[in-house]
Amino acid sequence: MRKLDPSQRRPDGAPLPKPIDAATAVIIRRGIEPSVLMGYRSAAHKFMPNTLVFPGGRVDPDDHTPPASGELASETMQRLRRKGRVSARKARALALAAIRETFEETGLVLGRRFKEQVDTSSLAKDWRQFFDTGFAPALDALDYLFRAVTPPDNFRRFDARFFIVDASLAHGEIAGSGELVDLQWIPIRDAMNMPRTPSPTRGALKTALSLINEEVSFPQQANAPVPALISRYGIEAIEYH
């Protein structure tokens, strides 16, 4: 049985909140001891403050239109669309949201140099700043790793998709925006056991480490299952979608 922080509980009688689409980037450094870029959510956040997480956040309307240096692999697209009402447009926006949020929260650019001139006049400020770096999002470098849906007893809920990407695609210097503090590369095994690591993050870490140890190639095959942390009748459990 999951023990809910009272500050996160939905008030009695309040309507059940609909999960908001969100995305996060699990940026991996391979090696003898694989590590991942993580930080603590600011104490100013109402949702899950002071918890150890990956860069990420909700999908914005402006995440549907930016161009990319490479599109999602067909296998990744199929896995994203296999469960639930996920259109190809929404699947692409989820991946773009993970890249944008990483840029906003860490200063790192998940992309490749882009030779074509991009008209950024119609793009949101955050995306204009992204393209000003000379890079474009590398969607083809992302693979769908994990999914977590916030339980219904929370006052705010997200349907979060976790994307794994190699650190070789992360360009620039780490420069936090304040949304995540104490950004650092942490060995995956250590991060799994830290006291402020929430269950969705721990599930994604466990999945990532298992795939790395098994030397699974990315993108995974289209029929590869996606672990999903779902709450039913007050009990959180991993399902496979």
Model confidence pLDDT, tens digit, residues 115-171: 778 888 889 999 999 999 999 999 999 999 999 999 888 778 899 999 999 999 999
pLDDT 10s digits, 221-235: 999 999 999 988 778
Within a domain: 71: yes
Within a domain: 57: yes
Within a domain: 18: yes
pLDDT 10s digits, 14-36: 777 899 999 999 999 998 999 99
Q: Bridge partners of 197?
A: none
- The residue ranking higher by pLDDT, 39 or 9, is 39
Q: Which residue has the tokens 């609909």?
A: 18
How many structural domains is the chain composed of? 1
pLDDT 10s digits, 43-86: 777 777 789 999 999 999 999 999 999 999 999 999 999 987 89
pLDDT reading at 104 higher than 60: yes
Q: Bridge partners of 40?
A: 52, 181
pLDDT band of residue 38 (cuts 50, 70, 90) is very high
Contact predicate 168/108, CB 8 Å = no
pLDDT 10s digits, 197-224: 999 999 999 999 999 999 999 999 999 9
pLDDT reading at 1 higher than 50: no
pLDDT reading at 109 higher than 60: yes
Residues 6+ apart with CB under 8 A from 214: none
- The token pair at 226 is 């996606």
pLDDT > 70: percent of the chain: 94
Reported as type and span, the H/E element at residue 227 is strand 227-232
Within a domain: 1: no
Question: What is the per-residue DSSP string for 161-210?
Answer: EEEEEEGGGEES-----SSEEEEEEEEHHHHHT-TT--HHHHHHHHHHHH
pTM comes to 0.94
Structural domain containing residue 223: 6-240
The pLDDT score that the predictor gives to residue 62 is: 95
Within a domain: 178: yes
Contact predicate 110/137, CB 8 Å = yes
The pLDDT score that the predictor gives to residue 48 is: 76
Within a domain: 91: yes
Phi and psi angles of residue 163, each rounded to the nearest 5 degrees, phi first: -115, 135
Distance CA 16, CA 162 (A): 24
Give me the CATH number covering residue 147. Answer: 3.90.79.10
- The residue ranking higher by pLDDT, 7 or 178, is 178
